[in-house]
Amino acid sequence: MDIFVRNKRYQGEIQAVVLDWAGTAVDFGCMGPAAVFCDVFKDFDIEVTIEEARQFMGLAKKDHIRNMCALPTVSSAWEKAHGRLPDESDIDRIYEKTATDMTQSIAHHAGVIGGVIDTMASLRDMDIRVGSSTGYVSEMMDVLVPLAKEQGYSPDAVVCSSDVPAGRPFPWMCYLNALQLETYPMEAMVKIGDTITDIEEGLNAGMWTIGITRTGNELGLSEAQVNGLPGDELQSRLDAIRTRFETCGAHYVVEQAADILPVIQEINSRLKDGEIPLRG
């Protein structure tokens, strides 16, 4: 095996991809986590909108809660209901309830998204390893990983936010994927996800990035809801998500993980020409 030494540009091919879980590989529309956040805050006498619940998706779950509590609408409602602003002890209590409820919810939102299994098989035929990262913690993944495997989806590496010092947008989960997949350099890897923090995670790790629009949190609709939208309305929404991803630095944007194979080939061509995944 030839070892790449960083005294020149890497001009090999993609060696590994790292996929997010909910909204990218499983749980079309990222429905499970959003519902849990709304229900848990209601248990604390706080009504949050689905938009507020989805706003920080992709972060580690405690970071997600911390950011929700900092929203002016939420902090104001908390002060009105509890006589003070939320503090870290409140965040801990909300997180404890969220972790329990989300672990239970995952079992009902574990369906592998269409085309993912065949696409991962095609990647492996290209000698590309399949990794994964997630804002879920290990107890949640202990439920999700076996359910996905039963359906035929089983990444070569599973890294969650509780495995590293900090979750997204820090690059640590991608670095741990690289270690477990024995992949180097980082520009030989692609991060694929359906949130802004997925893209930021991949960029911070020095990887190519692909944003997912149709099946993920940004659109936030079930497959049936997506199929029920008028074509022009759906396209308008997908275009808006594309713009948001591109603005934050995504190298590519596709509708679903099943669409990535042509992108991988294009990245291989760019690598051969000596390009690296820097935006500037």
Per-residue confidence (pLDDT) for residue 4, from 0 to 100: 82
Whole-angstrom Cα distance, residue 98 to residue 39?
9
Architecture of domain 16-30+110-272: 3-Layer(aba) Sandwich (3.40)
Specify burial of residue 69 (Cβ count, 10 A radius: 0-12, 13-18, 19+). buried
Q: Dihedral, CA atoms, 9, 11, 15, 19, nearest 10 degrees?
A: 70
Specify burial of residue 275 (Cβ count, 10 A radius: 0-12, 13-18, 19+). middle
Q: What is the largest CA-CA distance in the chain?
A: 64
Whole-angstrom Cα distance, residue 39 to residue 34?
9
**Residue boundaries of the structural domains of the chain:** 16-30+110-272, 32-106
The yes or no reply on domain 32-106 and CATH 1.10.150.240 is yes
Whole-angstrom Cα distance, residue 62 to residue 234?
32
Whole-angstrom Cα distance, residue 278 to residue 268?
15
- The pLDDT averaged over each successive group of 10 residues in the chain (280 residues) is 81 97 96 90 93 90 94 95 95 93 90 98 98 94 96 98 94 98 97 97 98 96 95 97 97 98 98 87
Whole-angstrom Cα distance, residue 267 to residue 251?
10
Q: Is the pTM of this model over 0.75?
A: yes
**Catalytic residue positions, numbered:** 20, 61
